[in-house]
Amino acid sequence: MTKSRESLEGVLPVDKPVGPTSHDIVAQARRALGERRIGHTGTLDPFASGLLLLCIGRATRIAEYLTDMSKSYRATMRFGATTDTDDATGSVVAESSAWQSLDDARIRAAFAAEAGVRPQRPPAYSARKVSGERAYRLARRGEEVELPEVEVEIHAIDVIGIALPDVTFHVRCSSGTYIRSIARDVADRLGTCGHLATLRRTAIGPHSVADALSVEQLGDPAAVAAALIAPAAALASFPRLSVDEDDARHLTHGRPVQCALPDAETVLVLHEDRLLAIGRAAGGRLEPNKVFV
């Protein structure tokens, strides 16, 4: 399929299947769309499925704002065994039958305890860096990896099915939260072993996997055109300011303009309904951080 770069500018939601990496999906999209400038906004492990937001053309410059949005997942954890990766792809390192005495109330309470702002230890097999190297590379070499805890926020977590040894749950959390770590920590809290068995990302901020294309549809021009989200629409949750021709000219030269918006770290600036800039509002002025020309 061949289209101009201009026509392909935007954010494309894609439903990643289990198996390929997030980078594999980007590579497929580049071939199908004839566009080199494509990036995604949050890695999904190969064993996981669900929503990837692909930023195409100049929309790659808004990727950081999409990446920082909250994420929602549907996941299943399995009691009985701990793995070195904290998911079903790893090797079993410990086993326990203590889960057989658990009741629903204790399980639900353990999940509920994960909610809120809390420290979380990332899995040893993760993309976090240790002295400049990815932790999973060190772990694969058999080196000891103990990552420091990071602060995450679990906005909501709900158990939606218990069929022991499996528990299915839904979670909405801050960017950078590891669902594998939630499964590991819940098992620890209950005095048993466990790991993440399945994972599906259902939303990134306001964007739902229900609106995503399948990988096969990347080769369908009509489907791509219908699913493509304009940059300003992809960031619809942020405050916005519409400017006239004079202010637009100032902003494109990196100069601030007056604005009546409340102070905000991220403001979308529109000119003739098109995203012109992203800036910071403070003290009645808007300072441009990024300009799209």
The catalytic site residues sit at 45
What does the alpha-carbon distance between residue 179 and residue 196 come to, in Å, rounded to a whole number? 8
Check if the beta carbon of residue 196 is closer than 8 Å to that of residue 88: yes
Backbone dihedral angles phi then psi of residue 170, each to the nearest 5 degrees: -115, 140
**Token representation of residue 265:** 């770290």
55 HSE (CA, 13 A, CB side): 19
CA dihedral for 234, 236, 238, 242, sign (positive or negative): positive
Transcribe 9-30 into DSSP letters. -EEEEEEEPSSS-HHHHHHHHH
**Amino acid at position 127, single letter:** A
